[in-house]
């Protein structure tokens, strides 16, 4: 077991997951965040842990698959250590099949999933009409149902993870504090922009997302996906709807007419949500590395430091595996990070 000191900058999902993995191996870990736990995009409301399609397999899809299959044990341990529920449940996802071509593609993907998902989950086609109105409208009368997708409540999850870390002896400090030992930068989109400035080249950016939380109880139902919208029922009797994807924005946390349009699209796709009261309107900025994959490994600017960033849209799904491989690297010097995830994948050689 390691007795190293590690400082993690950033109390979002990547920073906390790296902290948890290092702490479980005996490291003394301190988390520092100027704004608080889940203050950025990790404090959101959607929580759709959904896999990539089971085709054209690559290192990113394999990494995500392994992480999604680790998630149930990961979040169960967090809940046991914290006494707080992250809202995790692997209830699957439903998607409509709009036409014959899409049906053929879904059938092909079902065959691929049987091999690629190793029997740990299925991607299958089923007839609509089995879930009492909690289904996307499908012109073919058929739906895709996968059993790998899961849901969680991001805000509750990061607070449960933070409590688990503190209960196990870790520190989480809000504001500024001295750095001890090895340093990990998990600083969200601002961290990507700082690297870009230091290297004088684009390495990533922040993409704003807006989402809604509705008062509708479908807690035991699968999540839905249609018209590019994630509809995620949470354990507390709410449903999250999201999200926009905005490359150009001026205010990171404001909501506007774009979210109104998302709401209307959700109602059109899922009429059961028409009378649901809006409980919360949320906005935040997600870090997107230039490679579109998470950025994990040695920091490209700060010598001797590490980076865990760029979890754009899939950060919670990638977090269990990301924490594991970062702990391998930080504490043991063992590099199991896929080449496409390393910082150099987003940085042009000079």
Q: Which tokens belong to 233?
A: 């029922």
**pLDDT tens digits along 22-58:** 999 999 999 999 999 999 999 999 999 999 999 999 9
pLDDT in tens, 186-195: 999 999 999 9
CA dist 71 → 167, 314, 319 (Å):
20, 13, 8
What is the residue-averaged pLDDT of the chain? 96
Contact 83, 156 (CB under 8 A): no
Distance of alpha carbon 314 from alpha carbon 294, whole angstroms: 9
Name which of 16, 343, 13, 14 is nearest 192 in CA terms: 343
pLDDT at res. 1: 53
DSSP letters for 41-68: GGG-S--EE-PPPSSS--HHHHHHHHHH
Each residue of 152-190: b (16+ CB within 10 Å) or e?
bbbbbbbbbbbbbbeeeebebeeeeeeeeebbbbbbbbe
Q: What is the enclosing helix (H) or strand (E) of 226?
A: strand 223-226
Phi-psi region of 78 (alpha: psi -120 to 50; beta: other; left: phi over 0): alpha
- Residue % of the chain over a pLDDT of 90: 95
User: What is the distance between the alpha carbons of residues 204 and 243, in angstroms, rounded to a whole number?
Assistant: 20
Model confidence, pTM: 0.96
What is the b/e burial string over 213-242, where b = at least 16 CB atoms within 10 angstroms of the residue's CB?
A: bbebebbebbbbbbeebbbbbbbeebbbbb
Q: What is the pLDDT of residue 23?
A: 97
Give CA–CA dist 243/260, Å, rounded: 11
Percent of the chain at pLDDT exceeding 70: 99
DSSP string, 100-122: HHHHHHHHHHHHHHHHHTTTS--
CB atoms within 10 A of CB 195: 25
Residue 309 has pLDDT above 80, yes or no: yes
Tokens of 9: 């900058």
Q: Report how far residue 109's alpha carbon sits from residue 68's, in angstroms, rounded to the nearest whole number.
A: 18
Q: Which residues contact 300 (CB under 8 A, 6 or more apart)?
A: 195, 199, 203, 307, 343, 344, 347
Residues β-bridged to residue 49? 150
Res. 78 pLDDT band, cuts 50 70 90 = very high
Measured in degrees and rounded to the nearest 5, phi and psi for residue 190 equal -65, -35
Q: Residue 239: which region, alpha, beta or left (left: phi > 0; alpha: psi -120 to 50)? A: beta
- Residue pair 201/195 in contact (Cβ under 8 Å)? The answer is no
| Per-residue tokens: 272 | 């059961």
Neighbours of 245 (CB within 10 A): 15
- Mind listing the pLDDT tens digit for each residue in 61-76? 999 999 999 999 999 9
For residue 204, pLDDT over 60 is answered with yes
Which of 347, 334, 319 lies closest to 63 in space, CA to CA?
A: 319
Domains and CATH numbers, the chain: 5-50+154-203+290-346 (3.50.50.60), 93-147 (no CATH)
């Amino acid at each position: 077991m390691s007795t190293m000191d590690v400082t993690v900058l950033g109390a979002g999902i990547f920073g906390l997951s790296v902290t948890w993995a290092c702490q479980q191996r005996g490291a003394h870990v301190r988390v520092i965040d100027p704004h608080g736990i889940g203050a950025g995009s990790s404090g959101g409301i959607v929580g759709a842990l959904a896999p990539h399609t089971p085709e054209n397999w690559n290192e990113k899809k394999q990494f995500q698959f392994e992480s999604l299959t680790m998630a149930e044990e990961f979040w169960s341990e967090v809940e046991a250590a914290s006494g707080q529920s992250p809202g995790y449940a692997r209830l699957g996802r439903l998607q409509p099949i709009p036409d014959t071509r899409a049906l053929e593609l879904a059938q092909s993907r079902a065959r691929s999933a049987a091999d690629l998902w190793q029997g740990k989950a299925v991607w299958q086609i089923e007839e609509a009409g089995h879930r009492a109105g909690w289904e996307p409208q499908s012109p073919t009368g058929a739906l895709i149902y996968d059993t790998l997708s899961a849901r969680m409540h991001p805000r509750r999850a990061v607070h449960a993870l933070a409590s688990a870390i503190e209960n196990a002896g870790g520190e989480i400090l809000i504001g500024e504090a001295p750095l001890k030992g090895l340093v990990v930068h998990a600083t969200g989109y601002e961290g990507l922009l700082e690297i870009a400035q230091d290297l004088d080249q684009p390495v990533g950016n922040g993409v704003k997302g807006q989402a809604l939380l509705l008062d509708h109880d479908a807690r035991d139902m699968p999540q839905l996906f249609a018209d590019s919208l994630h509809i995620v029922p949470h354990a507390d009797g709410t449903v999250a709807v999201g999200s926009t994807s905005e490359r150009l924005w001026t205010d990171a946390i404001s909501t506007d007419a774009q979210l109104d349009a998302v709401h209307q699209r959700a109602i059109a796709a899922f009429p059961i949500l028409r009378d649901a009261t809006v409980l919360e309107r949320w906005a935040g900025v997600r870090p997107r590395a230039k490679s579109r994959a998470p950025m994990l490994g040695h920091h490209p600017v700060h010598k001797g430091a590490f980076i865990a960033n760029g979890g754009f849209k899939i950060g919670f799904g990638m977090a269990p595996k990301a924490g594991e491989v970062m702990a391998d690297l930080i504490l043991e010097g063992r590099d199991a990070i896929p080449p496409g995830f390393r910082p150099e994948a987003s940085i042009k050689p000079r």
